[in-house]
Structure 1
Amino acid sequence: MRYVTVDGALAFVEEHGDPGAPAVLCLHTAGQSGVQWRHVAPELAAAGYRVVVPDLPGHGRSEPAPGGPVDDLGAYAAWCLALADALGLDRFSVAGCSIGGKIALDLAVRASPRLDAVVAMAADAWTAGRPSVKGLRRELVDVAAPSRADRTELGTHAVLGRGIDPQRARLIATMHRREDPVVSNSDLIGWATHDLRDALPGVACPVHLVVGADDLWLDAERVRWAASRIPGARCTVLDGVGHYPMEEIPGFAAVLDGWLRDLAGQEAA
């Protein structure tokens, strides 16, 4: 664990595994932090990866972005590339969820030659204006209301899959209460406005899109459509899973390892 200066601010980064092993960058969801990968990262490292888990600017233990809360996922993608440069990652894979998944897709668009594989979970090319950007901006006026933490917890429960153990669901929802509402709303504005549809055919690295069948934030058909626009891309719909596969699925590191190995085989072919 260490701090790295990226774009003039300190970024907190966890690293697990052999520094010489194939690197995989793991990206968290809106308003959250790398803690979402706490169970996955050590097991993924044991499977033979250098696992890099950053807190995006203004999240977790990273300093805020110099320009304030970020509402452009493209800016986060550029930040990830700057982080990779700072860490000496010439080539790497990316696994992300929600805004992290969409950032992973953005990286595939802008940096395919550097990427061994991309696993984009709970993400599509464009959310068709969902959630309401107008509503999110209005909500920024009063997000410090005490009820916000409860709303975050209840909202997290709502988008978890029906197959999750109730005790695990309570833990995930409780952890999600920690988010900064100004940062998370800005993240969601970025989520709702980021449109990659026209750029997807130019992606030249192996990509796997993943969506939970119980994810109320996404339409699985829109995710399938995005995959169909990317040459050679795969799409998986996970039964009984909601918006947070890496938190909901026990032993997820083995699942992700399998996806990454399949994509590596695809690239070799």
Structure 2
Amino acid sequence: MTAEMTAAMRAEMSARYLEIAGTRSFVLEEGAGTPVLCLHTAGQNGVQWRDTHPALAALGYRVVVPDLPGHGRSEPAPGGPVRDLADYAAWCEDLIDVLGLERPFVVGCSIGGAIALHLAVRRGAQLSGVVAMAAYGGSDEPRPSVRGLERELIDAAAPSRSDRTYLGTLAVVGDRVPAARAELIARMHRREDPEISTSDLIGWATHDVRDGLPSIACPVRLVVGRDDLWVEPADVRATAEAIPEARLTVLEGIGHYPMEEMEGFAGELHRWLGELGDRTPRRVA
């Protein structure tokens, strides 16, 4: 057992339910130090960060991993499945306030990355920085098709949605990920609620914060996997160019889920957060 693993085992971890924006919400916390809020992908939950939060806590962070409303062990949002990522961003703001997180980093992937960008626009001056993976600020041509996603909410239109989730996940995992690891990721993902995940994807396809990107006050790093079939690197690059001093990382051989696909991801994230933390947040007039 490595020293890092031993330290991770010693880090204090808690899991509890909190009332956040009218939803009884499941939140896991581990470690002490600079807070890092980790946001999961569409239809999934905080289990996606299971290999990251112990190692990140051992590196000196207070890691907060929630299940968004309607996901994992959190109860549904009061209005039912969420189709507007701004609602999730507002929920995250309430979570930050309830937990008293001072100048947290926000790290997210896919819809989690889009929510992180939304938070950067809404309250960037109160954040230490944002790492948005597999996400961009918006597009004139929403991807995937909202019309197609609406049809998937009808069972007769997609009778094997769990299988499609499994196969679709395998398709967007990077080439350098070992086959056994890719299989595990896909089998974990197929447990999602199709109604929740499809509603999330409608929110993702229609999410657009491009007008607010130039005003972001906190440092931002955008990350995209070269093998991600769901995200166009050009969209991510355009988002990076619209945010003052933003950095862009393209991961070779990695797809849509860097935190699940990359061995030693916590160490790489630690490096990214360190670089963001070394930068002084901008003042916006």
TM-score range, shorter-chain basis? over 0.9
Give the secondary-structure state (helix, strand or coil) at the position aligned to 2:155. coil
Poorly superposed stretches of 4+, deviation over 6 Å: none
1:238 corresponds to which of 235, 242, 251: 251
Counterpart for residue 17 of structure 1: 31
Cα distance in 2, alignment partners of residues 60 and 142 from structure 1: 22
1:162 aligns with 2:162: no
Aligned-partner residue type, residue 100 of structure 1: G
Q: Structure 1: which 5+ runs fail to align? A: none
Question: How do residues 144-183 of structure 1 correspond to structure 2 at under 5 angstroms?
Answer: 147-183=160-196
Partner residue in 2 for 1:120: 132
How far 1:129 moved relative to its partner? 1.1
Q: Do structure 1's residue 253 and structure 2's residue 231 form an aligned pair?
A: no
The equivalent residue for 1:55 is 67
Note the alpha carbon deviations across 1:173-232, whole angstroms, 9 max, x for none: 000011000000000000000111111001010000000000001111211110010011
TM-score (norm 1): 0.97
Contact 2:128/2:281 (<8 A) preserved = no
Matched, 1:108 2:120: yes
Structure 1 position 203 matched with structure 2 position 190: no
Q: How far does residue 149 in structure 1 lie from its aligned partner after superposition?
A: 1.0
The Cα shift of 1:81 comes to 0.4
Rounded to whole Å, the distance in 1 between the matches of 2:76 and 2:157 is 18
The number of equivalent residue pairs is: 267
Equivalent-residue separation in structure 2 for 1:212 and 1:164 (angstroms): 12
Whether the aligned pair in 2 keeps the contact of 1:143 and 1:181 (CA below 8 Å) is: no
RMSD: 1.3
C-alpha deviation, 1:114, in angstroms: 1.2
Unaligned residue ranges in structure 2 (runs of 5+): 1-14
TM-score between both structures, scaled by the size of structure 2: 0.91
Contact 2:130 2:221 in 1 (8 A): yes
Give the conservation status (yes or no) of the 8 Å contact 1:161–1:212.
yes
1:144–1:181 CA contact under 8 A, matched in 2: no
Q: What is the percentage of aligned positions where both structures have the same residue?
A: 64
* Larger mean Cα displacement after TM superposition, 28-37 or 82-91: 82-91
Structure 1 distance, partners of 2:73, 2:229, is 29
